[in-house]
């Protein structure tokens, strides 16, 4: 799906600032707790990292942007827990009101509705019995498609041609794994795109390399 998270290549966000010298991993203590809570939420909901990313891309603009980086992690955790029925939809708001001193009855915890996900092996790397469909140095095109579900195919490369720079090991396909429709492992290709191919002849000339699953690519005419 084309969600708010697919912002690569879009304009209007201002310059990218380099990291500050000796910047702490978590500038605020709550940010570290937000990360821990999100990781725990993935486990409690019985999900995987691809389902987490799919939940994040379904946040509305305010939940994704206005609350900052770790704020969107918390919003995603809430979405995962309520969709999996680990928490009632109004439970977090009721708890927040009680912490402010209000007297609100919290809703009962529902029976979790976990998907029963079980990976076939540790990590995301897998072995496939077929040869890669594309070769290093081959010119390929990113498919011009807009899936209704989760995908890691960036919107700004769709329909554009690049060159295979490296063939990576096969990995679990996020598009199906996020929806618990199977791991469907595929080779991953490092594809090098010319900036002017992506953004026109007036773009600053540079090469951009993106890791792309085999099903995202097709041979050029």
What CATH code is carried by the domain that includes residue 8? 1.10.472.20
Torsion (CA) 103, 105, 106, 108 in degrees, nearest 10: 160
The SS3 of residue 212 is strand
Same domain, 13 and 74: yes
120 within a domain of the structure (yes/no): no
Q: Cα–Cα distance between 102 and 109 in angstroms, integer? A: 20
Q: Cα–Cα distance between 47 and 65 in angstroms, integer? A: 24
What local confidence, expressed as pLDDT, does residue 117 receive? 80
Prediction pTM value:
0.87
Asked whether the predicted pLDDT for residue 108 surpasses 90, the reply is no
Q: Which domain holds residue 196?
A: 139-219
Task: Tell me the pLDDT band of 10, cut-offs 50, 70 and 90.
Answer: confident
Strands (E), 107-151: 139-142
Same domain, 143 and 82: no
116 within a domain of the structure (yes/no): no
Q: Mind listing the pLDDT tens digit for each residue in 33-73?
A: 999 999 999 999 999 999 999 999 999 989 999 999 999 99
Asked whether the predicted pLDDT for residue 197 surpasses 90, the reply is yes
Same domain, 7 and 47: yes
68 within a domain of the structure (yes/no): yes
- Cα three-residue angle 186-141-163, rounded to 5 degrees: 85
Same domain, 104 and 171: no
What local confidence, expressed as pLDDT, does residue 50 receive? 96
114 within a domain of the structure (yes/no): no
- Considering only CA atoms, give the Rg of the chain: 20
Percent of the chain with pLDDT over 90: 70
Same domain, 102 and 146: no
Q: Cα–Cα distance between 190 and 186 in angstroms, integer? A: 13
Q: Mind listing the pLDDT tens digit for each residue in 144-169?
A: 998 899 999 999 999 999 999 999 99
Same domain, 4 and 90: yes
What local confidence, expressed as pLDDT, does residue 191 receive? 98
Same domain, 105 and 201: no
Same domain, 6 and 81: yes
- Kindly tell me the sign of the dihedral angle through the C-alpha atoms of 16, 22, 24, 25: positive
* Boundary (domain end) residue, out of 89, 109, 129: 109
The helix or strand, by DSSP H or E, that contains position 158, with its residue range, turns out to be: none
Joined tokens for residue 143? 């498919």
Same domain, 212 and 158: yes
83 within a domain of the structure (yes/no): yes
Same domain, 11 and 88: yes
Same domain, 29 and 93: yes
Task: Tell me the pLDDT band of 207, cut-offs 50, 70 and 90.
Answer: very high
What CATH code is carried by the domain that includes residue 201? 2.30.30.50
Asked whether the predicted pLDDT for residue 1 surpasses 80, the reply is no
Q: How many domains does the chain have?
A: 2
127 within a domain of the structure (yes/no): no
Residue 115 φ then ψ, to 5°: -75, -10
What local confidence, expressed as pLDDT, does residue 129 receive? 96
Same domain, 35 and 85: yes
Long-range (24+ apart) CB contacts under 8 A made by 159-163 are: 160/193, 160/197, 160/198, 161/193, 161/197, 161/220, 162/191, 162/192, 162/193, 162/194, 162/197, 162/210, 163/137, 163/138, 163/139, 163/191, 163/192
| Stretch 121-139: mean pLDDT | 96
Asked whether the predicted pLDDT for residue 16 surpasses 80, the reply is no
């Amino acid at each position: 799906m084309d969600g708010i998270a697919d912002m690569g290549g879009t304009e209007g966000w201002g310059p990218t600032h380099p990291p500050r010298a000796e910047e702490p991993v978590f500038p605020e203590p709550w940010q570290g707790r937000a990360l821990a809570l999100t990781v725990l939420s993935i486990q409690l909901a019985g999900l995987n990292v691809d389902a987490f990313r799919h939940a994040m891309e379904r946040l509305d603009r305010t939940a994704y942007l206005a609350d900052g980086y770790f704020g969107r992690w918390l919003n995603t955790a809430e979405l995962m827990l309520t969709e999996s029925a680990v928490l009632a939809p109004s439970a977090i708001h009721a708890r927040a009101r009680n912490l402010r001193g209000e007297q609100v009855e919290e809703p009962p915890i529902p029976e979790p509705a976990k998907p029963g996900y079980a990976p076939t092996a540790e990590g995301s790397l897998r072995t496939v019995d077929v040869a890669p469909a594309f070769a290093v140095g081959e010119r390929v095109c990113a498919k011009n498609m807009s899936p209704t579900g989760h995908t890691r195919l960036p919107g700004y490369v769709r329909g554009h041609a690049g060159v295979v720079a490296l063939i990576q090991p096969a990995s679990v396909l996020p598009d199906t794994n996020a929806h618990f429709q199977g791991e469907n492992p595929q080779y991953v290709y490092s594809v090098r795109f010319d900036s002017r191919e992506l953004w026109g002849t007036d773009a600053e000339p540079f090469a951009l390399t993106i890791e792309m699953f085999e099903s995202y690519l097709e041979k050029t005419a």
